[in-house]
């Protein structure tokens, strides 16, 4: 299964690889990837079961954001260029009904920089609170990430691909369109859009129906699960021959919820080993991806979190069993608390988007208020943040 390395050579040489040219938009290097879901995107690489592949991808913005850009640049980000995904990978022998097993062997940043911005007019949880936008740059210093914009905080690097998915069947793609269509009009879902669509040679007809990559769906996609770092395994249902796996949207770190719409975004490289479980969908009753989280995590200690509770009310406003509302409230409580420590609202919001925060639904059956608890790791701060 393993190829022979030599101690006397550089590593990775034997693994098929799709290489991303740093700084070059996907439109100018279309051979490595695509930015829509469609059953017939031509494979960029083929591997056998048990084989490995290395996939490099630009960050979610497709190089629209520059080192020295300002807030204006953020407002001009064209979301129709999201996400530049690398692939698809055709896995020999994978057939609809199988399960594709993707072992994540490694994830690395491509350059030394990541970023977490507040973009106006995106679906961030507190978008109305921070309408101006905000930029923060994060420097990858090995195991840690630091930002001059957010001093006093060190985030342990836990790189992972935010988006990883397989191709839908035509039937599934049509179901998605049918399901989401009522939401297109008022911007609550992204409609198919041939503008800026890149499908590795498929024509405009395909582009008109290809699914946008923003929401996660049955095929996985933009799940943003921050436990999928090196050592994790993902089990995908297979909908088309070859499975057609693609990935991108790497993060250097991400909080549960990714509340600001940005995790710690970066250009990245994922190294996968792929297997096929024949007939796995029926045998294991899998209809959406299931995951085995990475064993390598920053041990910040169970007691070393501070938890903020959120319920689905705000002042006189009352929701009903609304965990999203409750999560938003928990984020508000944590922002408030951090502002009490001297952080600006924007800084607090960024911290809650990039730190290894856990957002857990503690209880969801206590009508009308569920409890959502946001656990903030204490040890990322260079001082004691506990109440005293």
Residue 2 interacts with a copy of itself (CB under 8 A): yes or no: yes
| Euclidean distance between CA atoms 369 and 89, whole angstroms | 44
**Phi, psi angle pair for 386, to nearest 5°:** -70, 155
| Euclidean distance between CA atoms 221 and 31, whole angstroms | 20
> In this chain, which stretch among 193-201, 202-210, 219-227, 238-246 interacts with a copy of itself, using CB under 8 A?
219-227
Contacts of range 144-149, beta carbons closer than 8 Å, 24 or more positions apart = 145/114, 145/252, 145/253, 145/264, 145/354, 147/116, 147/350, 149/347, 149/350
According to CB under 8 A, which one of 29, 46, 95, 358 is a site residue for a copy of itself?
A: 358
| Euclidean distance between CA atoms 354 and 155, whole angstroms | 8
Residues in region 104-143 near a copy of itself by CB under 8 A: 104-107, 109-113, 115, 122-125, 139-143
Helix or strand (DSSP H, E) at 324: helix 323-340
Residue 8 interacts with a copy of itself (CB under 8 A): yes or no: yes
According to CB under 8 A, which one of 87, 156, 242, 268 is a site residue for a copy of itself?
A: 156
Size of the site for a copy of itself (CB under 8 A): 143
According to CB under 8 A, which one of 35, 117, 136, 222 is a site residue for a copy of itself?
A: 222
Please say which residue, 40 or 169, places its beta carbon nearer to a copy of itself: 169
Residue 28 interacts with a copy of itself (CB under 8 A): yes or no: no
CB half-sphere exposure, 46, CA atoms < 13 A: 7
According to CB under 8 A, which one of 50, 93, 131, 301 is a site residue for a copy of itself?
A: 301
Please say which residue, 208 or 282, places its beta carbon nearer to a copy of itself: 282
231 with 324: CB under 8 angstroms?
no
Residues in region 41-100 near a copy of itself by CB under 8 A: 52, 66-67, 99
Structure tokens at 316: 């006189």
Residue 219 interacts with a copy of itself (CB under 8 A): yes or no: no
Residue 231 interacts with a copy of itself (CB under 8 A): yes or no: yes
Residue 165 interacts with a copy of itself (CB under 8 A): yes or no: no
**Neighbouring C-beta atoms of residue 299, cutoff 10 Å:** 9
Residue 339 interacts with a copy of itself (CB under 8 A): yes or no: yes
Please say which residue, 148 or 203, places its beta carbon nearer to a copy of itself: 148
Strand, helix or coil at 288? coil
């Amino acid at each position: 299964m393993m190829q022979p390395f030599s101690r006397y050579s550089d590593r990775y040489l034997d693994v098929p690889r799709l290489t991303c040219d740093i700084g070059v938009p996907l439109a100018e290097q279309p051979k490595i990837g695509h930015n829509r879901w469609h059953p017939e995107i031509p494979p960029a690489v083929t591997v056998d079961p048990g084989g490995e592949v290395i996939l490099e991808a630009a960050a979610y913005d497709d190089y629209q954001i520059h080192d020295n850009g300002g807030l204006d640049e953020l407002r001009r980000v064209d979301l129709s260029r999201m996400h530049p995904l690398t692939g698809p990978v055709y896995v020999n022998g994978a057939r609809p009904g199988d399960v594709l097993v993707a072992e994540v062997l490694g994830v690395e940043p491509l350059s030394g920089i990541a970023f977490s911005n507040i973009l106006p007019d995106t679906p961030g949880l507190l978008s109305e609170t921070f309408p101006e936008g905000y930029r923060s740059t994060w420097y990858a210093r090995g195991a840690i990430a630091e930002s001059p914009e957010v001093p006093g905080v060190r985030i342990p690097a836990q790189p992972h691909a935010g988006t990883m998915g397989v191709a839908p069947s035509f039937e599934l793609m049509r179901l998605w369109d049918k399901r989401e269509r009522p939401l297109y009009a008022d911007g609550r879902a992204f409609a198919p859009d041939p503008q800026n669509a890149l499908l590795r040679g498929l024509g405009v007809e395909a582009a008109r129906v290809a699914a946008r990559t923003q929401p996660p769906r049955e095929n996985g996609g933009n799940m943003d699960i921050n436990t999928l770092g090196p050592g994790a395994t993902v089990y995908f249902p297979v909908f088309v021959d070859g499975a057609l796996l693609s990935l991108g949207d790497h993060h250097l770190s991400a909080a549960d919820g990714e509340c600001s719409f940005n995790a710690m975004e970066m250009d990245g490289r994922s190294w996968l080993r792929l297997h096929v479980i024949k007939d796995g969908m029926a045998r294991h009753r899998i209809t959406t991806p299931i995951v085995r989280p990475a064993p390598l995590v920053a041990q910040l200690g169970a007691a070393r979190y501070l938890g903020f509770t959120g319920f689905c009310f705000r002042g006189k406003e009352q929701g009903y069993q609304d965990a999203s509302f409750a999560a938003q409230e928990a984020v508000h409580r944590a922002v408030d608390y951090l502002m009490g420590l001297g952080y600006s609202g924007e800084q607090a919001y960024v911290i809650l988007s990039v730190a290894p925060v856990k957002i857990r639904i503690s209880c969801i059956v206590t009508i009308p208020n569920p409890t959502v608890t946001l656990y903030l790791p204490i040890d990322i701060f260079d001082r004691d943040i506990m109440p005293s």
